């Protein structure tokens, strides 16, 4: 029959065209189809290429299809409205034009399906092209709707198409991070974003319930790429020209996140959400207080998650008048040896600095913080010490009553440290009765800058606070570079003991030689 | 006289007669200066003025000075009466005369008394001093040696000196009598006298010539005899004068030789072992003091530390004065040989040579040569040693032959060699020369043919160096490096310094490659260390730069990995070796050092950021810990990462990780899949364990086949860790937070570590550490600020303003103020002076006017007088006439 004939033709064509490069072949065919309806059957060949094994061919075919169907859409040569089944098409009593439109519409649908499949292709090249083609179609469909227009609605948006794309993007099998970042370009458009949000919201439940694989990742990546505009007036960028409804957008955004956060997230995802929470989510939520439960729960988890939740909490406390009981006590309990080593220490100390900058804090609390920090400083790397030491000094500067920590002339007799490290309550830890011997210890630190910074407690502190903002992110390597930039004296001191062998002791005992052998 | 002066005089008189109190109380005399404010406690000089008094004072003063000056104006001469007491009215005329007389006597006496100690009075004869006359005679008598000996006639004396009294009187008498005749005879006498003296002079000359001829003849006679004597024992000094031209060359040479020997000797002076030891000790003490100062972090920039091996004059620029070296080359070489023979050890060598430029530079090479072993030196011997050996022990005479042999050896060498090479050999050769016998030498000559070449070009790139060293055993590589270094010594050519600086970098790279081979060729590295040290001593800047680059590159790589992954792998063995080499080349105890501080940071970065995943990682970490301990052991600085890591490693050996009283610090985890790395699989295996050192290669690949081996390895790692802890616990004893630093470790050691299952040695170590830690004192004084100068209390004294001569305070700086003050003073003085001058002129004008008026009055008076007299005359004449007339 017709189908078989078409197959034969296409296979013949393929064999014939093997000599030609597929690209020229595809382009030629697309041109022919566009020029006249006679060549309508060549569309099968093009679609064939779409399923080709070769990456290059597929990409060319996608380009060809985009061109072809865009033109057809523009010309209105695709059937509009409810599409009858293809089998019925032959028998139906319709005009040739109508039949052609229906035929082409079927091919178009087939093409869309293929493209949607390609979004899950292994090759990123194909994925990307497919995505672009789909979005192109979406935009064309927006302009030249394929549905019978219901004139009560002012615009039509290819909702189904977007939904299908989103569904594919939220694949449960593979990580779509790269593709999603490509997709972000389209998310900048208001309507796309809106419809993506609503379709994601519908999908979240399905995806989150079912799997534990990569899917939350995809959801998160997609969500984190949704950048709400900071001002409503900016709603100008549309895929399909239409009016905007900012309030509606905001509400969808809020519901979307709440829906997402409702589910139990793995801790890495938790951290990621918390990282972006304060500046890309909270400001766009109409009622940020709905996040309180989420944040307090996160704050109670402990460890790095608590550190991160601090940021969101800060926004709530600061801007939304949240009253958090025992906030400082919790903050105090967050100070653990690992706090100096985690990735988020800059953020944590930035916030801690903010929280402790209030001059209305009780003295015992500040003293407890200072003492605990200095105790922990005994395990910190030099880059952190350079930040923590000025931090402690600043605390004492802000609260002059804490000066007894570094200067207690009355009780000059020696004593054991009354501070209780294990006590969780800052009011019970006797920090005020102690002294910062740890900082005195650090005066013997091997790094000259740390030793110098620790020397500051020998003298009454100056009034001016030390700026710690640029020290927050200091890494060991930067410290090393700073050392090297340090103006060096002309001569480099040398070891005067002549070296005769590798494991010879230097500067004291040859510890290496005692424990290791040259093997 | 006019009226006004009279009036004034009267007023003055009145004023003088009045007492000062009277004047002061007289309201007409007093002028009161009104004060604006009463200032308490200020005494004002000028509140009351006495204008009359001061005016009369001023006038009097002018009279005394200005008027007198005016009076004596245009008068060049003046009489000054200096007679004693002439104007003294109080003195009696009698007394005056007496006094004058005594003064006269004194004046005449004083002049002579200085030299005339015994005689009070001077004796005279005819007004001439007797003593003077005596002196004159004496002079004539004592004039024995003079030409006029014995020819001094009475006349002559008389005519010349005025002679003795009698003679003189006679001639005087003659003169008085003779008049003109005498004058003539006197002229003749003088001519006669001159003739006589001339004749005598000629005679004497003749006599002298004769005697000289005789002496010369005698001298020559002596010389002929002396010639015979001279060959036996004539001292050189005598010959010195008689040396003839043909002999001069030989002699000159000898003199120069002697000169050179004398010059060489002071620097060449052999030091006694005590001296050497003392100097060595002093040098070390100085270096140690330097090190301590740097450790304390005192910033002293000016310490231009010259290496002890270098001469003080050496600029390390490879420049040596040509004039210095070329003509004395042979001697220098010999000198060096001498020193080399005298000092056996390398350290000693360098001390002996410290004084001289060449030695100071070369001693490093010598040290190198020592270490290289015998065969190289012997090889050198085989080629050029034979001829030279004769010259070495010879005395001064043999120096020529030494020079000759020098040339011969150069000519005789088979290979065409550059000059540098010669020198290089020479400083090695003597060291072993005396120890070698004939046959040994021959054998080595044989061996030398198959030996390595002696000159090497400095490698231009790393591949060059690799090509140079590849395929040679470690010893040979050392020799090659040493020779390359010597052939390209900076003193030999201009570009050599740069070449050798590059060589250090290449060598470092080579070391890295050796370390990263599998298996690592650590023994070769071990051999190369002295070379590296030598190069580093030569070029500290270049060496530190190269080391820094290596460290920073590696740290940068690690940082990049960290940024991407959040964790990094432990540094490879080559980095560990680099770190160790850094510790060998540079002082680790400095407060801040351009190389060791970054190196320590690198260690810290590795210890905090690299998670321990395997036993290899444990080994790497322990090596790093060892290095950290070495870096800080001298200065006893605190390194938190070290303690953290050791705690973490011990934590790996703890079996039950659920409830611990301590918390480990990242990169370690409280529990995880690799946190049981050091837990023994079978406790029994500890019985067969014996302490042995871990191989460095285990940081890369560890091949442990059986469980027993693995357990043994684990135990060794734990032992190393505990050993390090022991070091730390004693190092940090001084720190105030000692107990808090070691608190987690104490908990772990005492409660959690399965010490029961460990062998006895480990248990001992364990007990030792715990004892050390618990032995420390836990209480310490509360912190107080350092004592500082107390700030003085605020005092409520008024602000003290500098009182200035002028009203307003002008000028900011001291100089400006001073200038302003002087200006003001000058103006004031100028005005005052002007006023005074005006007063002076006024005074003078008045005086002149007075004078003129006085003169006029005088004239008037005189005219009047004249008129009066004339009138009287006329009157008298008229009266007379009238009387005559009346008479008639």
Whether B608 and A476 have beta carbons less than 8 Å apart is answered as yes
* Residue scoring higher pLDDT (B326 or A91): A91
What does the angle CA A350 – CA A353 – CA A359 come to, to the nearest 5 degrees?
155
Residue B862 has pLDDT above 90, yes or no: yes
**Cα–Cα distance measured from residue A351 to residue A353, given in angstroms and rounded to the nearest whole number:** 5
Contact across the interface for B694 and A517, Cβ inside 8 Å: yes
Q: Given this model, what pLDDT does residue A9 score?
A: 40
Q: Which of residues 772-801 of B touch A (CB under 8 A)?
A: 778-786, 788
**Cα–Cα distance measured from residue B575 to residue B547, given in angstroms and rounded to the nearest whole number:** 11
Q: How near does any CA of chain A get to the CA of B416, in Å?
A: 34
* Residue scoring higher pLDDT (B454 or B267): B454
Q: Given this model, what pLDDT does residue B363 score?
A: 42
For residue B210, name the pLDDT band (cuts at 50, 70, 90): very high
Whether B727 and B629 have beta carbons less than 8 Å apart is answered as yes
For residue A501, name the pLDDT band (cuts at 50, 70, 90): confident
Specify the range with the lowest mean pLDDT, choosing from A147-161, A345-359, A452-466, B396-410. Answer: B396-410
Residue B74 has pLDDT above 80, yes or no: yes
As given in the structure block, the two tokens for residue B778 are: 């836990």
Residue of A409, A516, A519 to mutate, interface with B, max B Cβ within 10 Å: A516
Q: Given this model, what pLDDT does residue B427 score?
A: 44
Residue B603: closest C-alpha in chain A = A476
Q: Which of residues 95-114 of A touch B (CB under 8 A)?
A: none
Q: Is B293 on the interface with A (CB under 8 A)?
A: no
Q: Is B601 on the interface with A (CB under 8 A)?
A: yes
Residue of A416, A511, A514 to mutate, interface with B, max B Cβ within 10 Å: A511
Which one of A476, A499, A507 has the shortest CB-CB distance to B630?
Answer: A507
Render B706-728 in DSSP notation, one character per residue.
SHHHHHHHHHHHHHHHHHHHHHH
DSSP collapsed to 3 states, A390-419: HHHHHHHHHCHHHHHHCCCCCCCCCECCCC
Residue A378: closest C-alpha in chain B = B640
Average pLDDT estimate for B13-42: 77
What does the angle CA B95 – CA B101 – CA B107 come to, to the nearest 5 degrees?
135
* Residue scoring higher pLDDT (B347 or A131): A131
pLDDT tens by residue, A288-303: 777 777 777 777 777 7
ipTM score of the complex? 0.71
As given in the structure block, the two tokens for residue B139 are: 């002079």
Q: Given this model, what pLDDT does residue B121 score?
A: 60
Contact across the interface for A507 and B583, Cβ inside 8 Å: yes
As given in the structure block, the two tokens for residue B213 are: 């001829």
pLDDT tens by residue, B840-849: 999 999 999 9
Contact across the interface for A507 and B633, Cβ inside 8 Å: yes
**Cα–Cα distance measured from residue B591 to residue A445, given in angstroms and rounded to the nearest whole number:** 10
Q: Given this model, what pLDDT does residue A234 score?
A: 52
Q: Given this model, what pLDDT does residue A245 score?
A: 62
DSSP collapsed to 3 states, B535-560: HHHHCHHHHHHHHHHHHHHHHHHHHH
Average pLDDT estimate for B110-125: 61
Residue B835 has pLDDT above 90, yes or no: yes
pLDDT, averaged across chain A: 74
Report the candidate in A435, A301, A436, A330 with the shortest Cα–Cα distance to residue A374: A436
Whether B706 and B644 have beta carbons less than 8 Å apart is answered as no
Average pLDDT estimate for A435-464: 86
Q: Given this model, what pLDDT does residue A414 score?
A: 65
**Cα–Cα distance measured from residue B395 to residue B399, given in angstroms and rounded to the nearest whole number:** 7
For residue A271, name the pLDDT band (cuts at 50, 70, 90): confident
Residue B57 has pLDDT above 80, yes or no: yes
Query: How large is the C-alpha radius of gyration of chain A?
Result: 34
Q: Given this model, what pLDDT does residue B696 score?
A: 82
* Residue scoring higher pLDDT (B463 or B173): B463
Q: Which of residues 285-344 of A touch B (CB under 8 A)?
A: 336-338, 340-343
The CA–CA distances, whole Å, from A477 to A397, B561, B645 equal 30, 12, 19
Report the candidate in B75, B74, B66 with the shortest Cα–Cα distance to residue B846: B66
Average pLDDT estimate for A320-336: 81
Specify the range with the lowest mean pLDDT, choosing from A238-252, B200-214, B268-282. Answer: A238-252
Q: Which of residues 530-559 of B touch A (CB under 8 A)?
A: 530, 532-533, 536-537, 540-541, 543-544, 548, 551-552, 555-556, 558-559
Q: Given this model, what pLDDT does residue B202 score?
A: 93
Specify the range with the lowest mean pLDDT, choosing from A183-192, A401-410, B205-214. Answer: A183-192
As given in the structure block, the two tokens for residue A209 are: 């319930």
**Cα–Cα distance measured from residue A113 to residue A309, given in angstroms and rounded to the nearest whole number:** 43
Residue B214 has pLDDT above 90, yes or no: yes
Q: Given this model, what pLDDT does residue A205 score?
A: 66
Which residues, 6+ apart, have CB-to-CB distance to A141 below 8 Å?
Answer: A73, A156, A158, A161
pLDDT, averaged across chain B: 73
**Cα–Cα distance measured from residue A280 to residue A286, given in angstroms and rounded to the nearest whole number:** 13
Average pLDDT estimate for B204-208: 94
Residue with tokens 């009138």: B871
pLDDT tens by residue, A91-147: 556 667 777 777 777 777 777 777 777 777 777 777 777 778 777 777 777 666 666
Residue B857 has pLDDT above 90, yes or no: yes
Residue B609: closest C-alpha in chain A = A341
Average pLDDT estimate for B375-402: 40
Render A347-374 in DSSP notation, one character per residue.
HHHHHHHHHTT-TTS-HHHHHHHHHHHH
Q: Which of residues 441-460 of A touch B (CB under 8 A)?
A: 441-442, 444-448, 451, 457-460
* Percentage of residues in chain A having pLDDT higher than 90: 0
Specify the range with the lowest mean pLDDT, choosing from B232-246, B393-407, B607-621. Answer: B393-407
**Cα–Cα distance measured from residue B814 to residue B820, given in angstroms and rounded to the nearest whole number:** 10
Q: How near does any CA of chain A get to the CA of B655, in Å?
A: 22
Q: Given this model, what pLDDT does residue B237 score?
A: 47
Q: Given this model, what pLDDT does residue A83 score?
A: 63
Render B284-344 in DSSP notation, one character per residue.
HHHHHHHHHHHHHT---TT-----TTS-TT--SSS---HHHHSTTHHHHHHHHHHHHHH--
pLDDT tens by residue, B783-797: 777 777 777 788 787
- Start-end of H helices in A246-362: 246-261, 267-276, 292-301, 304-320, 327-334, 345-355
- To the question of pTM greater than 0.80 for the whole model, the response is no
Specify the range with the lowest mean pLDDT, choosing from B72-81, B150-159, B161-170, B391-400. Answer: B391-400
For residue B851, name the pLDDT band (cuts at 50, 70, 90): very high
pLDDT tens by residue, B592-638: 888 888 899 999 888 888 888 888 888 889 999 998 988 888 888 89
* Percentage of residues in chain B having pLDDT higher than 90: 9
As given in the structure block, the two tokens for residue B793 are: 């209390």
pLDDT tens by residue, B512-552: 888 888 778 888 888 888 888 888 888 888 888 888 888 88
Specify the range with the lowest mean pLDDT, choosing from A478-482, B355-359, B755-759. Answer: B355-359
**Cα–Cα distance measured from residue A130 to residue A109, given in angstroms and rounded to the nearest whole number:** 14
pLDDT tens by residue, B478-499: 888 888 878 877 777 777 888 8
Residue B140 has pLDDT above 70, yes or no: no
Specify the range with the lowest mean pLDDT, choosing from B362-371, B435-444, B649-658, B852-861. Answer: B362-371
* Percentage of residues in chain B having pLDDT higher than 70: 67
Average pLDDT estimate for A196-208: 69
CB-facing half-sphere around the CA of A82: CA atoms within 13 A = 1
* Residue scoring higher pLDDT (B358 or B476): B476
Average pLDDT estimate for B289-295: 80
Residue A36 has pLDDT above 80, yes or no: no
């Amino acid at each position: 029959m017709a189908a078989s004939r078409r197959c034969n033709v296409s296979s013949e064509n393929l064999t014939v065209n093997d000599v030609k490069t597929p690209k020229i072949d595809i382009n030629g065919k697309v041109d022919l189809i566009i020029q006249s309806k006679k060549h309508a059957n060549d569309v099968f060949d093009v679609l064939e290429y779409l399923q080709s094994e070769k990456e290059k061919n597929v990409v060319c075919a996608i380009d060809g299809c985009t061109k072809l169907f865009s033109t057809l859409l523009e010309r209105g040569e695709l059937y509009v409205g409810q599409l009858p089944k293809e089998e019925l098409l032959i028998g139906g009593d319709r005009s040739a034009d109508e039949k052609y439109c229906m035929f082409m519409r079927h091919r178009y649908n087939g093409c869309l399906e293929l493209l949607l499949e390609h979004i899950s292709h292994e090759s990123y090249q194909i994925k990307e092209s497919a995505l672009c083609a789909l979005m192109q179609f979406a935009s064309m469909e927006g302009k030249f709707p394929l549905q019978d227009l219901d004139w009560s609605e002012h615009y039509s948006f290819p909702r189904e198409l977007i939904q299908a794309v989103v569904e594919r993007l939220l694949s449960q099998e593979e990580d779509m991070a790269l593709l999603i970042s490509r997709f972000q370009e389209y998310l900048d458009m208001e309507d796309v974003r809106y419809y993506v949000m609503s379709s994601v919201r519908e999908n979240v439940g399905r995806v989150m319930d079912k799997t534990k694989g990569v899917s939350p990742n995809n959801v998160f990546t997609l969500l984190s790429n949704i950048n709400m505009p900071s001002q409503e007036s900016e709603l100008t960028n549309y895929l399909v020209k239409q009016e905007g409804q900012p309030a509606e957008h905001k509400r969808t955004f809020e519901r979307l996140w709440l829906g997402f956060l409702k589910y139990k997230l793995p801790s890495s995802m938790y951290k990621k959400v918390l990282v972006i929470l304060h500046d890309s989510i909270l400001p766009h939520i109409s009622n940020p207080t709905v996040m309180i439960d989420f944040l307090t729960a996160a704050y109670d988890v402990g460890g790095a998650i608590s550190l991160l939740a601090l940021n969101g909490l800060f926004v709530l406390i600061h801007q939304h008048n949240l009253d958090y009981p025992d906030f400082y006590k919790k903050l105090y309990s967050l100070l653990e040896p690992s706090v100096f080593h985690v990735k988020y220490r800059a953020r944590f100390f930035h916030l801690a600095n903010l929280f402790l900058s209030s001059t209305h804090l009780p003295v015992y609390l500040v003293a407890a913080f200072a003492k605990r920090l200095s105790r922990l400083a005994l395990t910190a790397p030099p880059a952190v010490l350079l930040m923590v030491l000025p931090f402690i000094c600043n605390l004492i500067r802000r609260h002059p009553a804490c000066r007894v920590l570094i200067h207690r002339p009355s009780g000059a007799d020696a004593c054991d440290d009354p501070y209780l490290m294990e006590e969780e309550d800052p009011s019970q830890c006797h920090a005020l009765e102690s002294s910062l011997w740890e900082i005195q210890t650090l005066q013997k630190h091997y790094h000259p800058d740390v030793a110098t910074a620790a020397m500051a407690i020998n003298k009454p502190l100056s009034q001016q606070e030390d700026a710690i903002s640029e020290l927050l992110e200091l890494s060991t390597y930067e410290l090393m570079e700073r050392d090297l930039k340090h103006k060096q004296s002309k001569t480099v001191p040398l070891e005067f003991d002549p070296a005769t062998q590798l494991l010879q002791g230097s500067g004291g005992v040859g510890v290496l030689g005692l424990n290791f052998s040259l093997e | 006289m006019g009226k006004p002066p009279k009036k004034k005089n009267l007023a003055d008189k009145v004023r003088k007669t009045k007492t000062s109190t009277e004047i002061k109380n007289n309201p007409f005399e007093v002028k009161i200066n009104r004060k604006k404010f009463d200032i308490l406690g200020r005494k004002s000089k000028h509140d009351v003025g006495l204008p009359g008094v001061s005016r009369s004072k001023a006038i009097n003063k002018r009279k005394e000075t200005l008027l007198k000056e005016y009076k004596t104006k245009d008068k060049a001469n003046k009489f000054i009466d200096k007679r004693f007491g002439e104007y003294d009215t109080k003195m009696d005329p009698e007394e005056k005369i007496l006094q004058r007389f005594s003064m006269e006597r004194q004046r005449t006496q004083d002049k002579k008394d200085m030299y005339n100690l015994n005689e009070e009075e001077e004796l005279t004869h005819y007004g001439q001093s007797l003593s003077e006359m005596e002196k004159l005679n004496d002079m004539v008598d004592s004039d024995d040696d003079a030409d006029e000996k014995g020819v001094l006639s009475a006349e002559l004396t008389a005519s010349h000196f005025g002679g003795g009294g009698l003679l003189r009187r006679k001639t005087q008498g003659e003169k008085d009598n003779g008049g003109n005749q005498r004058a003539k005879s006197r002229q003749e006498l003088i001519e006669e006298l001159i003739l006589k003296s001339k004749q005598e002079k000629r005679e004497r000359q003749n006599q002298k010539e004769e005697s000289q001829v005789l002496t010369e003849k005698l001298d020559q006679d002596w010389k002929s005899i002396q010639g015979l004597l001279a060959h036996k024992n004539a001292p050189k000094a005598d010959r010195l004068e008689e040396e003839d031209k043909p002999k001069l060359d030989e002699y000159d040479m000898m003199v120069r030789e002697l000169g050179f020997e004398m010059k060489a000797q002071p620097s060449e002076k052999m030091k006694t072992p005590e001296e050497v030891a003392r100097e060595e000790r002093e040098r070390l003490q100085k270096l140690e003091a330097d090190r301590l100062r740097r450790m304390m972090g005192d910033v002293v920039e000016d310490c231009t530390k010259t290496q002890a091996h270098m001469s003080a004059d050496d600029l390390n620029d490879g420049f040596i004065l040509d004039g210095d070296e070329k003509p004395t080359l042979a001697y220098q070489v010999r000198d060096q040989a001498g020193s080399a023979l005298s000092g056996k050890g390398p350290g000693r060598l360098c001390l002996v040579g410290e004084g001289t430029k060449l030695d100071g530079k070369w001693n490093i090479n010598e040290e190198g040569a020592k270490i290289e072993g015998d065969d190289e030196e012997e090889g050198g011997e085989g080629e050029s040693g034979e001829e030279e050996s004769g010259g070495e022990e010879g005395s001064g005479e043999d120096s020529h032959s030494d020079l000759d042999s020098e040339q011969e050896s150069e000519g005789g060498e088979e290979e065409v060699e550059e000059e540098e090479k010669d020198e290089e050999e020479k400083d090695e050769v003597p060291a072993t020369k005396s120890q070698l016998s004939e046959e040994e030498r021959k054998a080595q000559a044989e061996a030398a043919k198959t030996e390595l070449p002696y000159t090497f070009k400095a490698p231009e790139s790393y591949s060059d160096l690799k090509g140079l060293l590849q395929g040679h055993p470690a010893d040979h590589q050392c020799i090659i490096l040493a020779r390359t270094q010597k052939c390209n010594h900076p003193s030999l050519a201009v570009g050599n310094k740069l070449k050798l600086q590059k060589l250090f970098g290449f060598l470092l790279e080579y070391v890295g490659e050796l370390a990263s081979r599998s298996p690592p060729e650590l023994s070769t590295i071990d051999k190369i260390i002295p070379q590296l040290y030598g190069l580093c001593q030569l070029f500290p800047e270049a060496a530190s730069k190269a080391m820094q680059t290596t460290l920073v590159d590696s740290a940068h790589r690690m940082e990049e990995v960290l940024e991407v992954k959040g964790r990094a792998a432990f540094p490879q063995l080559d980095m560990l070796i680099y770190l160790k080499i850094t510790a060998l080349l540079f002082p680790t105890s400095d407060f801040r050092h351009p190389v060791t501080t970054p190196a320590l940071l690198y260690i810290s970065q590795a210890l905090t950021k690299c998670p321990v995943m395997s036993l290899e990682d444990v080994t790497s970490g322990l090596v790093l810990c060892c290095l950290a301990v070495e870096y800080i052991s001298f200065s006893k600085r605190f390194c938190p990462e070290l303690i953290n890591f050791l705690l973490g490693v011990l934590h790996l050996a703890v079996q039950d990780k659920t409830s611990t009283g301590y918390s480990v610090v990242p990169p370690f985890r409280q529990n995880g899949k690799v946190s049981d790395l050091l837990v023994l699989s079978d406790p029994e295996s500890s019985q067969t364990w014996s302490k042995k050192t871990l191989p460095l290669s285990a940081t890369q690949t560890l091949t442990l086949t059986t469980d027993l081996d693995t357990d043994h390895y684990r135990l060794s790692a734990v032992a190393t860790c505990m050993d390090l802890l022991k070091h730390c616990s004693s190092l940090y004893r001084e720190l105030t937070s000692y107990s808090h630093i070691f608190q987690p470790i104490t908990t772990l050691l005492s409660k959690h570590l399965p010490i029961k299952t460990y062998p006895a040695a480990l248990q001992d170590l364990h007990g030792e550490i715990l004892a050390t830690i618990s032995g420390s004192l836990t209480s310490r004084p509360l912190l107080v600020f350092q004592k500082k100068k107390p700030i003085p209390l605020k005092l409520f004294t008024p602000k003290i303003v500098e009182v200035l001569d002028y009203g307003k305070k002008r000028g900011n700086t001291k100089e400006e103020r001073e200038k302003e003050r002087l200006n003001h003073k000058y103006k004031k003085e100028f005005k005052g002076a002007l006023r005074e001058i005006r007063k002076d002129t006024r005074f003078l004008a008045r005086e002149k006017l007075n004078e003129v008026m006085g003169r006029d009055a005088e004239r008037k008076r005189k005219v009047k007088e004249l008129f009066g007299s004339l009138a009287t005359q006329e009157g008298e004449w008229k009266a007379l006439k009238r009387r005559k007339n009346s008479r008639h």
